[in-house]
Amino acid sequence: MAKQVGQRVAYFRARATDERGHKLTAQGLSDRCKALGLELGRPTIAKLEKGLRETITVGELIVLARALSVSPADLVFPIGQAEVELLPGYHLETWKAVLWFAGFSARPGRTPPAHEASEVPLYQVHHQLLQDWTFAGSEHRRTILTGLRGIREDMRERGLLPPELPEDVAAAVNGEPGK
């Protein structure tokens, strides 16, 4: 996995520019990582990009993604390629691997039992309902409110913190008159 991430770091760094508009160097990427709170020296970045580093931590992945202005999934998966080796000997279409990694689909190879269901889709549905609210006419907003109330209650029952709502939606969800 570190080799694949290193290739993607090199790919995105080659397309990135520094503050002056010049090609981003390994030292420039190192400086960005340091500014984000994680020291990754130029030699470490060079070893990663050349496939000489055997491991990468989650923290390093996140900082590198932020420093390159991409998502961590962009560094883990070669989006646009037909398939990726997700596990040793197990290949999957790249986009399906991204969806699984992000928690938007069941684990590859089997459907999870209900008690193992990922919590990420709850937040995705919540987000989509808020998007729908923005464009919905008044006749559809009642249905959206029912969905928001239900999913927020499901989140609370699981001990999760529902996302903050825009003021107008919060008032409607909480049943304030005239909203």
pTM confidence score: 0.71
Whether 59 shows a pLDDT value over 90: the answer reads yes
Q: Which residue has the tokens 């130029």?
A: 42
Tell me how far apart the alpha carbons of residues 62 and 77 are, in angstroms, rounded to a whole number.
14
Average pLDDT over residues 70-77: 93
More confident residue, 72 or 109: 72
Residue 46 in any domain: the answer is yes
What residues does 93 pair with on adjacent strands?
83
Direct distance between the N- and C-terminal alpha carbons of the chain, in angstroms, rounded to an integer: 50
**Which among 18, 43, 76 is the end of a domain?**
76
**pLDDT band at residue 125, thresholds of 50, 70 and 90?**
confident
Domain of 127 in residue numbering reads as 120-173
Average pLDDT over residues 37-49: 96
Residue 179 in any domain: the answer is no
Residue 100 in any domain: the answer is no
Among 128, 117, 179, smallest CA distance to 154 is for 117
- CB proximity list for 108: less than 8 A, separation 6 or greater: 86, 90, 92, 96, 97, 100
Q: How many structural domains compose the chain?
A: 2
Average pLDDT over residues 127-139: 88
Whether 65 shows a pLDDT value over 60: the answer reads yes
**Which among 45, 76, 107 is the end of a domain?**
76
Whether 177 shows a pLDDT value over 50: the answer reads no
Residue 133 in any domain: the answer is yes
